Amino acid sequence: MRQCMDGDNLHRRLKKIIGQVQAIDRMIDEDVPCEEILSQLNAAKSALNGCGKVVLEGHIKHCVRDGIEHGDAEKTIESFTKAVERFANMQ
C-alpha cells in the first residue's frame, strides 16, 4: 500500500497536525476561551480530512486503477466502496 500514497506529503501534514494538537493541549492548561479551543479543534479536524483526501486519491490513482487493469474488478470495486465509506465517516 505504500506505493499508492504520497508518503512525504502525508508525513509533512501529520507533523503539522501533531503540532496543532499539542498547541490545543497547551491551550487547555492556559485556560484559553472555549471558542478558541473549538476553532483550533476544527482546524485540526480539517487538516486530518485533508490527509484522508490524499490517501483516498492515492487509492484511486494506484490501487483501484491497478486492480481494474490487472486484477479482480469486483474485488477492486468492493475495496473502493469500503474506502469511500470510511472516508465519508471521517466527515
Q: What is the mean pLDDT of residues 49-74?
A: 90
Kindly state which CATH superfamily the domain 2-90 is placed in: Metal-sensitive repressor, helix protomer (1.20.58.1000)
Domain spans in the chain, listed from the N-terminal domain onward: 2-90
Q: How confident is the model at residue 85 (pLDDT cuts 50, 70, 90)?
A: very high
Q: How far is CA 90 from the centre of its chain?
A: 8
What percent of the chain is predicted at pLDDT more than 70? Answer: 98
- What integer pLDDT is reported at residue 82 of this predicted model? 94
Q: What is the DSSP letter of 31?
A: T
Q: What is the DSSP letter of 30?
A: T
C-alpha–C-alpha distance, residues 15 and 41, integer Å:
16
C-alpha–C-alpha distance, residues 90 and 35, integer Å:
22
Q: What is the mean pLDDT of residues 25-35?
A: 96
